[in-house]
Amino acid sequence: MLYRNFGKPIFFRLDPEQAHHLVIGGLHKASRMPGGTALLKSLYGIKESPELAVDLFGLHFPSPVGLAAGLDKNAEAAAGFSSIGFGFMEVGTVTPKSQPGNEQPRLFRLPPDEALINRMGFNNKGADEMAKKLGGLKKRPIPIAVNIGKNKTTPNEEAYNDYKKCIQALYPEADFFVVNISSPNTPDLRNLQHGSELAVLLRQVVDEMRSQGEKYGASKAVLVKIAPDVTDEELEYMVDTISKSGVSGIIATNTTVSREGLRHPHAKETGGLSGKPLQERSTEIVRRVYRQTGGSLPIIGSGGIFNSEDAYRKIRAGASLVEIYTALIYEGPEINRKLYSGLKECMLRDGFKHISEAVGADHR
């Protein structure tokens, strides 16, 4: 109510990227003030319930609902986001070297469609700067995943070196990693999802993760984030390659280049579309991945979640965890409490005692 009545009207009068920076800066400052994180928790935090807590990848997730990558690109507001009811969060996408991203304007709201279009282009301050930010966190109340990518100027045949450099720089600080090969805003990046390039890339990533695990005496999970804009045959090959690679799981899905059914004039803008229009397609990808793998490869469902029923459908389709992004922009931080309480109602309605029992229920 506070965000909808006061925050949103102000933010939506601003340029979207300006509003984005205000949120990141505000959460960063709030978390550094004495009692700041405690205040955020009192306003927006959740009280953990055993029925909804998830243990996965050797980590404890107090809620199955996390924050998707793209909002906190440099881990500047991780402490703040960790205090407003998320069960985990992704930071990034980060690349080995800092880069400015694409030219502005590059972020667009589509209010009638409850969607966003972005063509940010992996704008970030680089892996070393993120390592400093994460290393400076005093507490880690929720798992933090680092979403890694390649620099724009790195050719695809050398892309694996960029992913390895990110892992090397950030392994001590990340709780787990996400390999981003599915953003539509870096030229040719999505080609890494197909053919032999995917197998080569993942082999290098898994080898580097194993090497760093031995170095630091702690193995960590690495997941792959896939695009929704693939044919059935492409998806089947992709999932088969990912399953054989030894990675820990899949995030389904990234943003889409589809513009089907959009009403707002910004539909003509290039970039990745997120929000409600992605809801059905991302859930279908979750369902297909779960069916193909027999539930053996954990899935994080992402795309178009605005309420607890949206989240629950992805869980029943096969997601062990889910993520939001665009809904946070439109609904504000109050959404986490709504999702949390609503998921518990959905679970109990179907006779489940723990949320894990609902994972993949549509397939049984």
Contact between residue 337 and residue 62 where contact means Cβ atoms under 8 Å apart: no
Active site residue 308: no
pLDDT < 50 stretches in the chain:
none
Q: How far apart are CA 150 and CA 206, in angstroms?
A: 16
Contact between residue 90 and residue 246 where contact means Cβ atoms under 8 Å apart: no
pLDDT at 1: 65
> Which of 31, 83, 183, 308 is the catalytic position?
183
pLDDT at 349: 97
> Strand runs (DSSP E) across 98-154, as ranges?
107-110, 115-118, 144-148
On whether the 2-363 domain is CATH 3.20.20.70, my answer is yes
pLDDT at 3: 84
pLDDT at 185: 85
State how far the alpha carbon of 342 is from the alpha carbons of 213, 303, 306, 323, in Å: 38, 18, 11, 15
- Smallest Cα–Cα separation from 89: which of 66, 59, 72, 110? 66
pLDDT at 356: 98
Residues constituting the chain: 364
Amino acid at site 312: Y
pLDDT at 4: 82
pLDDT at 2: 74
> Strand runs (DSSP E) across the chain, as ranges?
54-56, 59-61, 65-67, 88-94, 107-110, 115-118, 144-148, 176-180, 221-226, 249-252, 272-275, 299-302, 321-324
pLDDT at 70: 95
Domain segments of the chain: what residues?
A: 2-363
State how far the alpha carbon of 195 is from the alpha carbons of 233, 235, 242, 255, in Å: 12, 11, 12, 21
pLDDT at 191: 85
